[in-house]
Structure 1
């Protein structure tokens, strides 16, 4: 069955053209100032990040709900099941990842803008211990929670749509994947993607 890309209600920076393939959320952008270009400007030549593609799915084309659960960095249990009807932003990251560290201030700013709207944000830490991750987030001034590395179970729960690090997914009120950025993102891009999901629910 073919899929289609949801039309945004505003100009989302870094999104000139998005396309979705039958295999899932794959996209392309021809914008010279796109996230793809940002991702490719990383100085760490030994690091393979996402290509910066951004994709959105219309409500009728979204798949099954995501069930993500685990322990937060402080050991507290957390699950999407505890937040029914809530839009959730999921960011896969690691403090060892240069593009992840570069996007951290933008993610925090997005969180500060979205939290009053009732939106949740949670990180999914990869390939490091919770103490290391927590120390970095404290230094970076991050106030949204992150799940501990669980050996890859979270990536499976995210239906294979967050294979790159960093990756950011927007889950709609039913916790279906509504949008994805494969690579680093910006505050305006992420807020725009979430606003689209919120407006679709109202419309």
Structure 2
């Protein structure tokens, strides 16, 4: 009798846990991406004298082309780490595209490069095409591109503004808007290296 009561208690306890909408399992299975942790939009600027060595970033774009940061010397490069599974990344995408369009049309030496993280190139390319993103993105390479960023992209989204030598000049940890990003780029363009 006591064994039956214990078994019934365990069965009811397990059933209660599996139906709890706040349980870890229920949240993971819901697909609504609750609990995602993103940066808070903190902006870090790095003075010219405090900038480290240039990054050694390279990879293959979502469209299959090889790209190296060292080929962009003389340009300010904006690197944005994103994924279509990341809600804040999806929300900031129009702002990034608007900033790219404005800066590209201005004729200033600026290049944007996304790093599509934790998804297939096909999924990333579908997102880019459906959202009319015109600047390129590197395909996920198992984290090699993130390693090249020296720990400066701990969450998605993260946006780095690199100076004309490829050194980190500014970082936004979390979503960025058009005005903030274009302002950071303009600051780096105007800085004396």
Tell me the TM-score normalised to structure 1 length: 0.76
CA distance in 2, matches of 1:66, 1:174: 9
Deviation at 1:81, TM superposition (A): 1.3
Partner of 1:143: 134
Max Rg structure: 2
- Normalized per residue, the structure richer in helix is 2
Q: CA deviation at 1:57?
A: 0.9
Aligned pairs, number: 160
**Which position in structure 1 is the counterpart of 2:21?**
none
Residue aligned with 2:180, SS:
helix
Q: Paired residue for 2:180?
A: 189
Q: Distance in 2 between matches of 1:76 and 1:85?
A: 21
- Output the CA distance in 2 between the equivalents of 1:182 and 1:78: 24
Which of 74, 87, 91 is 2:80 aligned to?
91
1:59 aligns with 2:45: no
For 1:201, what is the secondary structure of its paired residue? Answer: coil
Residue 133 of structure 1, aligned match among 114, 121, 124: 124
TM-score, L = length of structure 2: 0.80
**Structure 1: gaps (5+ residues):** 1-42
Q: Alignment RMSD, CA only?
A: 1.3
User: Hey, which bits of structure 1, 4+ residues long, moved more than 3 A?
Assistant: none
For residues 79-98 of structure 1, the C-alpha deviation after alignment (integer angstroms, 9 at most, x for no partner) is 10111111100000000000
